[in-house]
Chain A
């Protein structure tokens, strides 16, 4: 859209301008009313983009001289306003990692990331959610001949834990933006592939944006559609249904009708099962609590490689604390949090993945699930 400055010289010119205004429904900025257009007086008129050419031709034909006052109205509008949530945002420069994003924007972000870093990133289909939405993960992989071990990380298995998908997006950005300049990143990408699922419970996440900010579960209906949602982190086949669950759909820890009853659980489990011999480490990101949880939740019986799990976990907590002093506790879920069964972390370990951790990110309850967006950066930086 352009704004033109015109000073009509004769009465005929005034009449022509009034005609143009009424036929093309142009937007008079000055004067306000077409009947106030006067020879010798300034006229400012906004012309919608598709009409610019036609209007200029018509002015030329009638020997009406004009000057372009504003060559691009939208640009001025954008400059004068804080960056608004818009689906036309340039994702690479414009994507704001220090804000929470709805699912539609995360889908777009994945596409953009794959486009912008196509040498390293490929987007893959994992499965469909209950409400028929596609689940995608990003594979970050340095091209190479040798087979590589995989680190898997999923975020957003619980809808209300918004800091979790925010972290997955941050993580991907950090790795990709610093790949060229950081030898450490290049180093570990030589031997490892990173698989990142930014939002596992897509239906639940969308529901927490639109309807209920504190929703936790997925959105599949039970009891003849009178009750919704399975706790996906109680739905895996690891001592399923034994402890720390409810068989009542109205509970926030409802474990479903059977192990892997939920399409989201199945999508992840089928994939991990296929790839399990190559997966060195399984990470699942939650909030809140500031904890690094090791297996198991269903029993206090330690896993066979408990020492290794604790050692690596403690190193991670120390590195995390080194950044901003944030304290994370490390240990088995059954000891430092609560008993639960059917968790993805326990299941991953039980099928043979040696290093399996649940991260509970900030905070400790002060804001809980409603972690302010200004804590996204420090939370993600320390967790990196």
Chain B
């Protein structure tokens, strides 16, 4: 508890590679939730004790595949109602996961717990530059209120630069109708 500033948490985490459960990396982090203004994202500092695996080859395959598509990719409901993700859409799922991590970070307080519940809709937008662009509508699940929150985001990606969320907009509620 830091007087007049906020609450700081010291964390020791074990990161597990989603694509290889046996591969783990330890991590320490400090998270500062600011007092008062709930519109400021918490400060996060972290240190990785070890290295993350290289994904160069898979990145290259995905990048080339998308760039060579004639029609812009469109997909919905990932995973589907039965939890299934078609293998060719798995990279889009992972990308959404990472990008929603940004949304979660920017919108978290000590009283929220946000998770990506589902990709409602994703559309590729072809660009004249080297970046891949995907416009997503994702559904975030907030554990305490149990609400499902639709959120639009524009995600840019390039093997060299990684993920960027260049625009996002929280949508009015998942209807109670």
Contact = CB atoms under 8 A, between A and B. Distances in A.
A222 to B, nearest CB: 9
Contact of A368 (B77, B81, B84, B117): B117
Contacts of A368: 115-117, 141
A252 B148 contact: yes
Interface string B20-41: 0000000000000000000000
A372 B117 contact: no
Interface stretch (B57-65, B152-160, B169-177): B169-177
Contact of A226 (B143, B174, B177): B177
A370 interface: yes
Interface in B88-136: 115-118
A177 interface: no
Contact of B147 (A251, A337, A373, A375): A251
A110 interface: no
Given A228-B176, A370-B83, A251 B117 contact: no
Contacts of B145: 246, 251-253
Interface residues of A, number: 33
Contacts, number: 69
A228 B177 contact: yes
Contacts of A338: 143-144
A213 B84 contact: no
A289 B141 CA distance: 12
B146 interface: yes
Interface in B61-82: 77, 79-82
A100 interface: yes
Contacts of B82: 99-100, 370, 372-373
Given A227-B176, A249-B176, A375-B83, A369 B147 contact: no
Contact of A371 (B83, B146, B148): B83
Given A228-B177, A368-B141, A372-B84, A214 B148 contact: yes
12 contacts: A99-B82, A100-B82, A213-B118, A246-B145, A250-B173, A254-B176, A338-B143, A367-B83, A370-B79, A370-B80, A370-B81, A373-B84
Given A99-B82, A214-B118, A368-B117, 18 more contacts: A212-B174, A213-B77, A214-B141, A228-B176, A249-B176, A251-B147, A252-B147, A252-B176, A337-B143, A338-B143, A366-B18, A368-B116, A369-B141, A370-B80, A371-B83, A372-B82, A372-B84, A375-B83
Interface of B: 18, 77, 79-84, 115-118, 139, 141, 143-148, 173-174, 176-177
Interface of A: 99-100, 209, 212-214, 216, 226-229, 231, 244, 246, 249-254, 289, 337-338, 365-373, 375
